[in-house]
């Protein structure tokens, strides 16, 4: 079938054959759409990326060589288009992205989850495409063919032009490299588990009708939206630069091999040097390394830095897989964003602090490989003399209950791949979250614990509009009832609290 791919490509390039292109779309649309959805976490944007990728295929069809492995080429192009889309979305939604990153710091540590197949895929999905991008082209192609396309060793060998035994070894070595990359990101799984979960979950059926829509748009030249055209242009630019960068590196190799004194220097230096010291921390004075961006944080060496703040105001923070976190201009405790609650993964509304907590503010960078935060807790005890323990205490709480069973803005999730939560001045949006996520947000509004008594299970997409600068209990109660069919009932209940104490 892989050799048939290029036959169809050549047929389309030569004759603009609509049946040939429709067959290519039908054959590969699930791979492209699944990769796009996994990378951007937005169903509508994933469809636009899928359209863009196949339009690029139509434009590039005549230039693809006979040795091209089309599934690998499509996956790589999807990666380029998704990267451009994410970059554009990040510029538009900088405030929302920061709120989402801060929310990630309050999610349960992966090590506490049961290792079901669904849990494992939840861990791997956000990391998979970045990890594949770190592999060499042949290794990545081998894994795409094996686990995205479900090809046999013989078919992989034919595509890569090697013996079947060599293809089997190539897949095994590539899988081991992928496992090692996951370990660096704090996810420790066997190669067998990774293989099984990726094979079962990485490619899902594309939305009904999307293949026909793409075939019509591409083969018949129908008009596409401006956002799709922007994606196409962005992806083509990345593809062109990648090709040019490869030519520069190859050219430099030739020049050096020939013994010439001419030097060719690649202009694109990595944003984070690979040789940052874990002992000489002078580099940490550079604000570049304190950006609220997990792509920066995950590249930093293993360090724990707690210092009096060098930032004039609260700059937020970022955290994610592996327990890494960075906080700027935050207190030790007793105020929002404090270090103690982040170290113990607890909410301020459920923490009891001593009355004499210091008011100084600090910067924290925590990138140690140990996924537990015990080390950070020990450092706070050693440096500041504060420890914390959990105990059950009676407290004034609010119980979230159902009043209107129609639940107008509370819908079963349409996006089961990614969880996304953000809050701005007008609304809270929860995608693929449970009711506890809504309770957590309401706690932030009212400043006291909110307990789920709805009995609702599963994941939901929730849009909850409320102007925070006009918040009051009356406004909140009306908004909950009108928009979600829910109500808050005052009560006094025993709940788990984090009790912070000063020790000598």
Say yes or no: 204 and 339 in one domain.
no
Between the CA atoms of 365, 368, 370 and 372, what dihedral angle is there, to the nearest 10 degrees? -10
**pTM of the predicted model, to two decimals?**
0.45
Say yes or no: 209 and 231 in one domain.
yes
Say yes or no: 365 and 418 in one domain.
no
Say yes or no: 373 and 407 in one domain.
no
| 3-state SS class at 170 | helix
Q: Is 207 exposed, middle or buried (0-12, 13-18, 19+ CB in 10 A)?
A: middle
- The last residue of one of the domains, among 385, 411, 446, is 385
Confidence band, pLDDT 50/70/90 cuts, at residue 110: very low
**Average pLDDT for 71-75:** 90
Is 82 within the bounds of a domain?
yes
- Percent of the chain at pLDDT > 70 equals 79
* Whether the predicted pLDDT of 122 surpasses 70: yes
Do 388 and 338 touch, CB atoms closer than 8 A?
A: no
Is 262 within the bounds of a domain?
no
Scanning 329-457, the segments in alpha helix (DSSP H) are: 339-344, 374-384, 435-446
Pick from 457, 492, 496, 481: nearest CA to 401: 481
Say yes or no: 359 and 410 in one domain.
no
267/249 Cα distance (integer angstroms): 11
**Average pLDDT for 119-148:** 85
Say yes or no: 8 and 31 in one domain.
yes
Pick from 425, 411, 418, 431: nearest CA to 483: 411
Is 442 within the bounds of a domain?
yes
Query: Which pLDDT score, from 0 to 100, does residue 105 have?
Result: 36
Is 268 within the bounds of a domain?
no
Higher-scoring residue by pLDDT: 432, 344: 344
Say yes or no: 46 and 168 in one domain.
yes
Say yes or no: 484 and 367 in one domain.
no
Say yes or no: 358 and 439 in one domain.
no
Is 276 within the bounds of a domain?
no
Do 145 and 156 touch, CB atoms closer than 8 A?
A: yes
Say yes or no: 121 and 202 in one domain.
yes
Taking the mean position of all CA atoms in its chain, how far away is CA 389? Answer: 32
Query: Which pLDDT score, from 0 to 100, does residue 197 have?
Result: 83
Is 258 within the bounds of a domain?
no
- The last residue of one of the domains, among 243, 271, 306, is 243
Say yes or no: 191 and 309 in one domain.
no
Per the listing, tokens 């008009």 go with 223
Confidence band, pLDDT 50/70/90 cuts, at residue 392: very high
Confidence band, pLDDT 50/70/90 cuts, at residue 397: very high
Domain count, the chain: 3
Q: Where in the sequence is the domain holding 330, given as residue range(s)?
A: 281-385
Q: Residue 385: left if φ>0, alpha if ψ -120 to 50, beta else—which one? A: left
Is 125 within the bounds of a domain?
yes
- The last residue of one of the domains, among 190, 214, 243, is 243
Pick from 445, 495, 487: nearest CA to 466: 445
Per the listing, tokens 């910067």 go with 363
**Percent composition of the chain: helix, strand, coil (DSSP 3-state, to 5):** 55, 15, 30
Is 255 within the bounds of a domain?
no
Residue 205: other Cβ atoms inside 10 A: 10
Q: CB within 8 A of 248, min separation 6: which ones?
A: 264, 266
- The tens digit of pLDDT for each residue in 405-422 reads 776 677 787 766 666 676
Write out the E strands in 236-385.
304-308, 317-319, 325-331, 351-352, 361-366
* Whether the predicted pLDDT of 113 surpasses 50: no
- The tens digit of pLDDT for each residue in 335-375 reads 877 899 888 888 888 999 998 888 899 999 998 876 568 88
465/480 Cα distance (integer angstroms): 9
Higher-scoring residue by pLDDT: 418, 55: 55
Say yes or no: 358 and 299 in one domain.
yes
């Amino acid at each position: 079938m892989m050799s048939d791919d290029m036959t169809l490509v050549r047929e389309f390039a030569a004759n603009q054959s609509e049946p040939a292109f429709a067959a290519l779309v039908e054959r590969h649309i699930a791979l492209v759409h699944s990769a796009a959805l996994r990378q951007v976490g937005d169903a509508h944007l994933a469809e636009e990326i899928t359209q863009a990728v196949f339009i690029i295929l139509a434009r590039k069809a005549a230039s693809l060589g006979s040795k091209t492995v089309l599934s690998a080429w499509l996956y790589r192009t999807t990666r380029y288009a998704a990267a451009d889309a994410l970059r554009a979305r990040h510029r538009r939604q900088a405030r929302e992205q920061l709120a989402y990153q801060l929310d990630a710091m309050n999610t349960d540590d992966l090590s506490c989850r049961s290792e079901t197949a669904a849990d494992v895929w939840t861990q791997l999905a956000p990391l998979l495409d970045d990890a594949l991008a770190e592999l060499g082209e042949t290794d990545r192609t081998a894994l795409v063919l094996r686990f995205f396309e479900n090809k046999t060793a013989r078919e992989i060998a034919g595509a890569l032009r090697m013996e079947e035994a060599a293809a089997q070894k190539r897949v095994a070595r590539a899988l081991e490299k992928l496992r090692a990359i996951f370990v660096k990101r704090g996810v420790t799984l066997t190669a067998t588990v990774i293989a099984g979960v990726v094979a079962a979950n990485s490619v899902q059926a594309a939305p009904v009708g999307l293949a026909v829509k793409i075939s019509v748009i591409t083969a018949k030249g129908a008009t596409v939206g401006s956002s799709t055209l922007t994606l196409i242009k962005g992806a083509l630019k990345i593809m062109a630069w990648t090709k040019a960068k490869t030519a520069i590196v190859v050219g430099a190799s030739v020049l050096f091999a020939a013994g010439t004194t001419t030097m060719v220097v690649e202009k694109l230096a990595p944003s984070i040097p690979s040789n940052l010291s874990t002992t000489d921390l002078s580099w940490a004075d550079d604000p570049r390394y304190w950006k609220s961006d997990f792509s920066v944080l995950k590249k930093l060496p293993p360090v724990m830095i707690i210092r009096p703040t060098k930032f004039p105001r609260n700059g937020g923070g970022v955290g994610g897989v592996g327990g890494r976190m960075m906080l700027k201009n935050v207190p030790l405790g007793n105020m929002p964003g404090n270090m103690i609650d982040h170290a113990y993964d607890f909410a301020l509304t459920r923490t009891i602090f001593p009355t004499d907590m210091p008011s100084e503010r600090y910067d924290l960078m925590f990138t140690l490989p140990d996924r537990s935060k015990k080390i950070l807790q020990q450092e706070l005890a050693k440096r500041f003399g504060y420890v914390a323990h959990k105990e059950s205490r009676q407290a004034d709480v609010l119980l979230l209950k159902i009043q209107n069973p129609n639940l107008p803005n509370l819908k079963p999730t349409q996006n089961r791949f990614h969880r996304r939560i953000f809050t701005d001045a007008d609304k809270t949006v929860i995608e693929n979250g449970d009711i506890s996520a809504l309770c957590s947000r309401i706690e932030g509004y009212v400043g006291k614990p909110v307990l789920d008594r709805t009995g609702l299970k599963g994941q939901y997409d929730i849009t909850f509009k409320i102007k925070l600068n006009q918040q009051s209990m009356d406004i909140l109660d009306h908004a909950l009832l009108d928009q979600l069919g829910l109500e808050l009932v005052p009560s006094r209940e025993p709940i788990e609290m984090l009790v912070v104490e000063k020790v000598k």
